[in-house]
Amino acid sequence: MRTEKDLMNLKKDELIEMAKSLNIDTSGTKAELTTRILASEVQPAGEAGQDFDEATESKIDIESSDATMSGEEGTIEDESENSGEASVESSAESSQDIIFDELPSRWLIAGGLRPVPYLSTLAVVFILMFTYGFNEFYSVHYAVEGSDKEYIDCARITYHSLGDGNTTDYDPTNQANIDCAELLGISPNWWQEDMDAWLQSMLDSVSGNGNETGFIWTQVGIDTMAYLGASTFNANMSVYGDPIAGDEFTEQDLAIWNGYTATMGGGNDTIEDLLVGGGSPFAIYMPMGIVDYKPTGFLWTQAGIDTMAYLGASTFNTNMSVFGDPSNGDVFTAQHLAVWNGFAAAFPGGGTDTYEDLLPSGGSPFAIYMPQGIVEHAPTGYFWSHPGVPTMAYLGSSTFGANMSVFADPAPGDVFTAQHLAVWNGFTLQMGGGNDTIADLLPGGGSPFAIYMPSGIVITEAEWTNQTPSVNNVTVEVNGTTNTTMFSCGYIFSDAQGDSDNSTIIWFINNSYAANTSTYSANLTNGTTIACMVTPYDGLYWGVSIESQDHLILATED
C-alpha cells in the first residue's frame, strides 16, 4: 500500500497518469492528486470513479492545507506527515485487496526514498579512486600510446629477447627492438650500456689508457672468447667491445680476461702468455694464439738484425732472442723498441729512440752511422703527399682536437701506414665518415677530403717515384791545397717537374758521421776514407738518399 509520502515523491506527470488509470479527476495540485489517489485505492472497486461529496472534499482540502509546494516538480515539505493517515489506515483495514499498477523506478531502488545523498557519496568515492588510485597506477605502468598488449609485447622483445645480450636472439639494431625501446622510453642498447657501466667499475683500478700495448686480437682469439663467453664465462663478447681481427688488445681486455679466467685457476696471464705458444693454456693449445703483435708500420732490416746480433754479443751481453729472433721484413714491435731503449740506455744519451730515429739517417747514432737503418717503413703502396700533411695538421687543430703527432708527425713521402688510416677513420667518424680506405685518400678518391683536394691526402708509390726528385753518380770531389783540402759532393739531380735542387749532404769520415754541410774541409791523414750521402729534395718532396763510394786518402793527395 502506497503512502502519501511515496506519492508525493513522484512527479506530477506520474500522478496524473496514475489518476487517469483510476478514472479520477486529474486537475488540481500535486497534493490534491495525491489525496484523490489514496482515497480511490481504499474505496470499493465499483466506487473508484465516483465523485467525492462536498464534505469529503472539504476534509481533504483542510488536511492538505498545511502542505507547501515550490515549483511544479518542487520538494514537498509536509509539516503534518500523519495528517489524514488515520482515515486512510482505517479505510485500508476494511479492504483486503491491494493493487500495484507499476513497478518502482530504478532510481528508487538504487537510492531509496532520498537518493540524492547516496548518489553524491558514490560520486565522491569514484572521483577519489580515479584520482589517487587507478590514475596513479596507470600513469606509471601504462601511460603509453597503444594498447596494454603492445606495451607488454615490447617489454618481452626489449628486455627478454632482442635487447638482452645474454640471449641467443640478441640484436639491439633490429628495428623491432628499436621501435619497442622508443615506446618504452629506453635506449635500444640498454644492455650494453649497463654492461659498460659494470665493466668500468671493474676497470677503475687498471692503470694506463689501454692503448699502445703492441698486441692485437687474432680471429682465433675472438672465436675462443665468443665460445668461452657463451659456455663458461656467461658474458657476451661485447664486454670486449666486439673486436674484430687486428683490433688493439688493451690492458683493460687483459684485466677482464684475467677476471674471467680466475674461475678456471688462471687470472695471472700476461699479454705475452696469450701469444702463440704462450704460457696461457689457451695459447698453448691454440697454435694461432689469442693475440698477435700489433703492426707498427716499421719492419726489421737485415742491417738492423745484424747490428743487434753484434751488439747483443759484444756490448749488450744478451742474445738476439730477446727480440724473438726476427727475420728481415718482420714487424718491429713496441716491445722491440722498449728493449732496444733499455739496451741503448747504457750509452750516453741513449734510451729515448723512436721508430723514426732507427730509420736510415734517423736520430739514433746507430741509424746515422748505418745508411740502411735498423728499421724501414712497412710498405703499404702509399705515401703521405705534401698537401696531405698540412691538411691533417689543420684538421687536427681545428676539427679533430688532436695534434698531428697522432700520425707520428709524418713528412711528405713517409709511408702512409695502416695505423695512420685507423686514426684517420677514428677522426672522420665524427663527421659521418670513418670508412675510408687508403685509395679513398688518393687525388679524386672517395673521401670528401680527397675529392675537394686535387692533390689528395696520399700518393701512390708509382706517382711518388715519378714526382719526387732523384740523384745519381754521387762522388767525392777533391780540391787540394798545400794547407787544407776541400771536398765537395758531386751528383746529378733530376726532377720531373723541373723543381729546384734543395738536396742535403751528409759527410762520413772513416764511416762515422762528420758533418751536414754542402762542402767539407779538413786535413786528412794518409789512409783516411771520406764519403758523402745526398738526399734529393725539390722543396716539396724528398727522394731516396744515395751514398758515394768511399774515397781513400793517399799520400800523393797531401
Q: How confident is the model over 386-430, as pLDDT tens digits? A: 888 888 888 888 888 888 777 878 888 888 887 788 888 888 876
pLDDT class of 491 with cuts at 50, 70, 90: very high
Indicate whether 56 pLDDT > 50.
no
Q: What is the DSSP letter of 105?
A: P
Q: What is the 3-state secondary structure (H, E, C) of 496-523?
A: CCCCCCCCEEEEEECCEEEECCCEEEEC
Confidence check: pLDDT of 278 > 90? no
Q: What is the DSSP string of 155-196?
A: HHHHHHTTT-TTSTT--TTSHHHHHHHHHHTS-TTHHHHHHH
For the CA atoms of the chain, what is the radius of gyration? 52
Q: Which three cell numbers stand for residue 452?
A: 675537394
| Domain identity same for 304 and 255 | no
| Residue 239 in domain | yes
Q: Do residues 247 and 337 both lie within one domain?
A: no
How many Å apart are CA 361 and CA 424, to the nearest integer? Answer: 28
Whether 138 maps to a domain, the answer reads: no
Q: What is the pLDDT of residues 171-182, one digit of tens each?
A: 888 898 898 888
Contact in structure between 207 and 275 (CB atoms under 8 Å): no
Tens of pLDDT along 524-540?
888 889 999 998 888 77
Domain count, the chain: 6
Confidence at residue 165, expressed as pLDDT on a 0 to 100 scale: 79
| Domain stops at, among 266, 293, 320 | 293
Q: Is residue 120 part of a domain?
A: no
> Is 535 within a domain?
yes
Q: State pLDDT tens for residues 284-299.
A: 777 778 888 776 678 8
* pLDDT in the model for residue 80: 40
Cβ(454)–Cβ(445) under 8 Å? no
Examine the domain organization and report whether 392 and 459 are in the same domain.
Answer: yes
446 with 487, same domain: the answer is no
Among 352, 377, 402, the domain boundary falls at 377
- Amino acid residing at 334: A
Residues 259 and 313 in one domain: no
Can you spell out the DSSP letters for 411-474? -TTSB--HHHHHHHHHHHGGGT-----GGGGSTT-SSHHHHH-TT-SEEEHHHHHHHS-EEEEE
Residues 472 and 459 in one domain: no
134 within domain boundaries: no
Task: Tell whether 128 is covered by a domain.
Answer: no
Question: 205-223: per-residue pLDDT in tens?
Answer: 444 333 456 688 888 888 8
Q: How far apart are CA 446 and CA 440, in angstroms?
A: 4
Residue 363 DSSP class? S
**Dihedral (CA of 79, 81, 83, 84) sign:** positive
Is residue 367 one of the residues assigned to a domain? yes
* 127 is a domain residue: no
- How much is the average pLDDT of 435-452? 83
- Is 71's pLDDT higher than 60? no
The helix/strand/coil state of 123 is helix
Distance CA 279, CA 284 (A): 7
The pTM for the full model equals 0.34
Give the number of other Cβ atoms within 10 Å of residue 546's Cβ: 18
- What is the helix (H) or strand (E) element at residue 307, kind and residue range? helix 302-314
- In this structure, the answer to whether residues 315 and 370 fall within a common structural domain is yes
Task: Determine the structural domain holding residue 261 and report its residue range.
Answer: 206-293
pLDDT band at 471 (very low <50, low <70, confident <90, very high): very high
- Residue scoring higher pLDDT (7 or 146): 7
User: What pairs with residue 299 in β-bridges?
Assistant: 331, 376
C-alpha cell of residue 75: 520538494
